Amino acid sequence: MSFNDEARPANPLSAAANWKQYLVLCKPKVVLLIAFTALVGMLLAVPGLPDLRLFFAALVGISLASASGAAINHWVDRRIDAKMARTFNRPLPQGEISPIRALGFALALGVAGLGLLAIEVNLLTTLLTALSLIGYAVIYTVYLKHATPYNIVWGGAAGATPPLLGWVAVTGTVGAEAFLLFAIIFLWTPPHFWSLAIKRRKDYARAGVPMLPVTHGVAFTKRQIVAYTVFLNIAALIPFAIGMSGLLYLGAAFWLGTGFLRQAFLLMRSDDDRQALHTFKFSVHYLMWLFAAFLGDHLIAAFL
């Protein structure tokens, strides 16, 4: 399979792309996970339920800003995407949406999301969301991604903010517990993304992106995945240790953490790239179920 070095020109028949193509620009699966962690951050911040108008405004605003970052990522990376098997079918490389339309759509989402947060939520949440958007769409996508093999470590800070943003949305302040939620996702991001990078290392090499498996080798990357997974497991137990969560969360954190460590060690011992994909998929379920346990534990404490 060969891929063009440049994104294909927009197909005139698809200049007015349908809504499904614009939805792809938003990376909906990623945004749904982001929205869920933000939702958990909001609910953990206060006993019971927060004000419903504030809750929905914050959730929609954070989601729109996240979708904006995803669409900007598509726009910036359109030429790289055209060279990679995983991404060459995206709307921009295929010419299904013109670059100017994609950029306009992305900026409109960002303005709508930040505007909603500024009007209906609070200025601190708006500011932190804007910084997160700039961190991902500009600092990571434009600079860090091409500057260092540890790009995802530093760029992951932007992706770790949703539960912190949710917390700030309903409290107006940044608490220590919010930073702990941030730290869990921050430590989760490298083993999650490097697992996929191992599987797709030839793509990244072809596109000239200095991902860790390309610059330092697969064996080194696997050891880094194990190390970060250990640190993640330690961080994930702290909420129980400080009384932020209860036994339901503790059981889930232990079970999920053991499973993630098992996947990481299997990956380190395996020469089969299919294990890298298994580890990547497990990491997605890990974060989703860990935050679901946070939520379940909170609801049990609030209503029973």
Structurally, the chain folds into a number of domains equal to: 2
Does the pLDDT of residue 301 top 60, yes or no? Answer: yes
- Does one domain contain both 91 and 207? no
Question: Residue 10 falls within a domain, yes or no?
Answer: no
- Does one domain contain both 225 and 121? no
**Cα separation of 229 and 39, whole Å?**
24
The reported pTM is: 0.90
Q: In 3-state terms, what secondary structure has residue 9? A: coil
Residue after which a domain boundary falls, among 122, 157, 173 = 173
Residue after which a domain boundary falls, among 126, 154, 173 = 173
pLDDT tens digits, one per residue of 200-230: 999 999 889 999 999 999 999 999 999 999 9
pLDDT band at 4 (very low <50, low <70, confident <90, very high): very low
DSSP notation for 236-247: HHHHHHTTSS-H
Question: Residue 255 falls within a domain, yes or no?
Answer: yes
Residue after which a domain boundary falls, among 173, 200, 225 = 173
**Cα separation of 286 and 261, whole Å?**
11
Question: Residue 3 falls within a domain, yes or no?
Answer: no
User: What ranges in the chain are assigned the alpha helix state H?
Assistant: 19-25, 28-45, 52-76, 78-81, 99-120, 123-134, 145-147, 151-159, 162-171, 176-199, 201-207, 212-215, 218-241, 247-269, 273-303
pLDDT band at 96 (very low <50, low <70, confident <90, very high): very high
- Does one domain contain both 81 and 157? yes
- Does one domain contain both 148 and 62? yes
Range of the domain at 289: 175-304
pLDDT of residue 158: 87
- Does one domain contain both 65 and 182? no
Could you identify the residue written with the tokens 């961080």?
235
CATH number at residue 116: 1.10.357.140
